[in-house]
Chains A and B, each alone.
Chain A
Amino acid sequence: MIPELGHFSLIIGLAFAFLLATVPLIGVARKDQYLVRYAWPLSYGMFFFIFLSVVVLGYSFAVDDFSVAYVAHHSNSQLPIFFKIAAVWGGHEGSLLFWVFSLSVWAAAVAYFSKGLEEVFTARVLAVLAMITIGFTLFMILTSSPFERLFPIPMEGRDLNPMLQDVGLIFHPPMLYLGYVGFAVSFAFAIAALMGGRLDSAWARWSRPWTLAAWVFLTGGISLGSWWAYYELGWGGWWFWDPVENASFMPWLIGTALLHSVIVTEKRAAFRNWTVLLSIFAFSLSLLGTFIVRSGVLTSVHSFAADPSRGMFILLLLGLAIGGSLTLFAFRASEMKSPARFELMSRETMLLVCNILLTVACGTVLLGTLYPLLIDALNMGKISVGPPYFNAVFVPIVLVLFMFMGVGPNIRWKRAKPGELKTKLLVPAAIATVVGVAAPFLADGKFNVWVMFGIGTATWVTLATLRAGYGILQGKDGSVSLARLGRSEMGMLIAHIGIAVSIVGATMVSNYSIERSVRMGPGIQQELAGYNFNYLETKNVVGPNYTAQQGQIEVTRDGEFVTLLRPDRRQYNVRTMDMTEAGIDWGLFRDLYITMGDPISSTEYAVRLNYKPFVRWIWFGSIFMMVGGFFAASDKRYRRAKATADAKSDDKKADLATA
């Protein structure tokens, strides 16, 4: 009975979505404020009923209701409760439910936080969000309901895939979905603005914190995924250019471009059409990502359920979203001309170039991801496009991007003051060049062009960002005060430095990792990167739903004890699946990473030893980016109460800057 309640509640949620997608718009058309105001209760109602059905599914997992097919396929009575709850989004049906749920969370949040906005505008935004909800809820109810019953009722569930039984993976999908779906909000704002026929600074200002929030979640989701792949898959890799990874990376790239474009639209009322287009693209790419992941058109390590009918449905939604929004854009965009003027040497130009480069980078990833499909569809055979391709084309593009990234925050809006840029940036550029050239020699005495560019640009971005920060703190009279630093500037500084930190990590780990595969058993010692690894013994370990052989490896350096690492090989009982769990000693400047392979003899195992310099920096950088994004999103200009006063002083500031 309970699961039916969930199903029923989902249908009520759908009904609410239908009303939300129509009633306020009718109200707008008839100029009936009474109808327009229905948007709020309808949004909350939609959220409530979808939330209820998520709760019901969670409850079915918690009480081991294996009569529900989805629960039987993704859980087991032995599974720890933590993972039972996480299993709610561990499979296709549940993750769709979660997708829809995230959407309703965003809708409710927009309804709640946007009371200060124009009513008609917000109502339109909510209606657009409801339309998207309708599409995906229908998809779920028609093709993949998580509440389907199973008969006969199995005694035991098939267990959650062991790879998903991990903390990293508990939070990775929800964050990713919140990010993906968050771009639906930017999309809805853009569509609402197009509907109203008014793309102005106010719209950009309203849309910006939402875009930032979505971007923060997406950044978090992607980094968690990469971190999870690093420690759980046991290969020690952190990015594979797998189609599923690319699917999340593309909206991120466009989302990053959107973040910057929306600033220009807000501050200078320029790039308006471009911002709308990016909003549409960011969301379309999120949908495309969902399509790639859910339809199985591309082979990926992550292969999820492949079923043409599902793919078809998402493709239909994708077509409707892109087709509809671009048609609307075509009709409305041309009406608006951009009034702002700027010179070639100006912050506008820098942001434009950064936007172009990000878009090109995204286009490159898209091309590489879909190319094998294209070739196959044209019957020209099967090819693979993998890391060597992406590294070869993507890396140069972003290196150029990083160069511009240093200039952007240091240059004035509208027109650069002659000579100013040179006085500001000459020293950082010189230091960055020296550091870049010296870095590979310091690391291992050999020249390496990638290390030079990587460390060089990271230094450049850091120094130029700090210089920009100093410029913000410095007043006209030369005095320095922290009070001048607004939250959005601070966010920018933190996020840009985060990028630099990630660049360092990626550069170092890609170029200076050391890996050895050796035979190890009790009493055998091995050496790697100055560390001594001493295999003590193999222990048998029994977990809640697995058994494992765990190697005990003592690590010493110059005779001093460093750590005891315990990599293990697990056999999961229900799925009879072998998994390796790496033993990792993490450090600020290096990770030691050990995986156990197959047994070679009765006591000896093949063991892979890895030395990974600076690998953590990749994720430290993304934490910086998230914190930066959070600061920017929480800038007081976006808070309701003081919006007007601040907006005015802001405009004044902008005027001063451009005067």
Chain B
Amino acid sequence: MRAIFALLTAVVLSLGLSLSASATPVDTYEFKSMEHQKRALDLAHSLRCPQCQNQNLIDSNSPVAQDLRLEVYEMVDAGKGDQEIIEFMTSRYGDFVLYKPRWEGKTLALWLGPLGLLMFGLVIGFFFIRKQRVSQVEVQEISAEEQKELDKLLKRDS
């Protein structure tokens, strides 16, 4: 299967862009209330279509996305909570469908990484600035020697 599947994908993909992104889906689902609509759309925007390339349930027009989208709408209208709906999706399609990864062991680095990077950057910056402060070193501008060299270089530019 892998072979034919790979072949098919190769054929499709070698055409450049994939076909999955072509026509835009529009559904005319009538929500019970505006509130439900907003919640359902937000939710469907944050769930990934399991079949297609990188698209959420709203943007994809693949049949699976269509089904799941409708499922989300109906569950919202039936008064189900976000958590319940997310549970419903992941129990069938796995964590893959969550655009917002769960907070768990394997995503710790993902969620804490930015904070770590920021801390790291600020600490480095802090020490760098401390080292550079004028008040701690009496000297000066560019050293005379370097200034001379710089002038020489700039002169040569012309």
Q: Which of A369-428 contact B (CB under 8 A)?
A: 371, 375, 380-389, 392-393, 397, 414-415
**How far is the CB of B151 from the nearest CB of chain A, in Å?**
8
- Residues of chain A within 8 A (CB-CB) of B53 are 299-303
B98 proximal to A (CB < 8 A): yes
* Cα separation A367 to B134 with both chains bound (whole Å): 37
Flag if B134 contacts A517 (CB, 8 Å).
no
Q: Are A343 and B19 in contact (CB under 8 A)?
A: no
Contact flags B53-91 to A (C-beta < 8 A → 1, else 0): 111101100000000000000000000000000000000
Task: Check A195 for interface membership: any CB of B closer than 8 A.
Answer: no
Q: Which of B101-155 contact A (CB under 8 A)?
A: 101, 106-107, 109-111, 113-114, 117-118, 121-122, 124-125, 128-129, 132-135, 137, 139-143, 146, 149-150, 153-155
Q: Do the beta carbons of B26 and A384 come within 8 Å of each other?
A: no
- Chain A 67-90 near chain B by CB (<8 Å), digits 1 or 0: 000000110000000000000001
A389→B95 contact, CB < 8 A:
no
| Contact in complex: A386, B99 (CB < 8 Å) | yes
List residues of chain B with CB within 8 A of the CB of A90: 16
Q: In the bound complex, what is the Cα–Cα distance between A363 and B119 (angstroms)?
A: 13
Contact with B along A243-262 (1 / 0, CB 8 A): 10000000000000000000
Q: Is A118 an interface residue (CB 8 A)?
A: yes
Known: A299-B54, A301-B20, A389-B100. A606 touches B153 (CB 8 A): no
Q: How far is the CA of A300 from the CA of B48 in the complex (A)?
A: 12
Q: Which residue of B lies closest to A367 (CB)?
A: B113
A273-320 residues at the B interface, CB under 8 angstroms:
296, 298-307
Closest residue of chain B to A371 (Cβ to Cβ) is B110
Known interface pairs A303-B18, A341-B134, A517-B29. Does A647 touch B96 (Cβ–Cβ under 8 Å)? no
B7 within 8 A of A: no
A269 within 8 A of B: yes
User: For B55, B137, B140, which residue has the most chain A Cβ atoms within 10 angstroms?
Assistant: B55
B22 adjacent to A578 (CB under 8 Å): yes
Task: Kindly specify which of A5-13, A23-31, A231-239 makes contact with the partner chain.
Answer: A231-239
Cβ contact within 8 Å between A161 and B16: yes
- What residues of A have a CB within 8 angstroms of the CB of B143 in the complex? 339
State A132–B118 Cα separation when bound (angstroms). Answer: 33
Is A328 in the interface zone, CB < 8 Å from B? no
A636 to chain B, nearest CB (A): 13
B140 contact set on A, CB distance < 8 A:
339, 341
Contact A360-B134, Cβ < 8 Å, known A234-B24, A235-B59, A382-B94: no
23 pairs, A vs B, C-beta closer than 8 Å: A74-B16, A91-B14, A160-B16, A163-B22, A202-B150, A233-B21, A300-B54, A301-B53, A306-B9, A342-B132, A352-B129, A360-B114, A360-B121, A380-B106, A381-B96, A382-B95, A386-B46, A387-B46, A389-B110, A582-B24, A600-B28, A608-B24, A655-B141
Contacts A118-B157, A397-B118 known; 10 new A-B pairs at CB < 8 A:
A116-B158, A202-B150, A243-B54, A301-B55, A341-B134, A353-B125, A356-B118, A385-B99, A385-B101, A597-B27
Show the binding face of A for B, using Cβ within 8 Å: 73-74, 90-92, 116-118, 158, 160-164, 200-202, 233-235, 237, 240, 242-243, 269-270, 296, 298-307, 338-344, 348-349, 352-353, 356-357, 359-360, 363-364, 367-368, 371, 375, 380-389, 392-393, 397, 414-415, 515, 517-519, 569, 575, 577-580, 582, 595-598, 600, 606-608, 640-641, 643-644, 647-648, 655, 658
Q: Which 6 A-B pairs have the closest CB atoms?
A: A597-B26, A386-B99, A388-B100, A234-B24, A356-B121, A606-B26
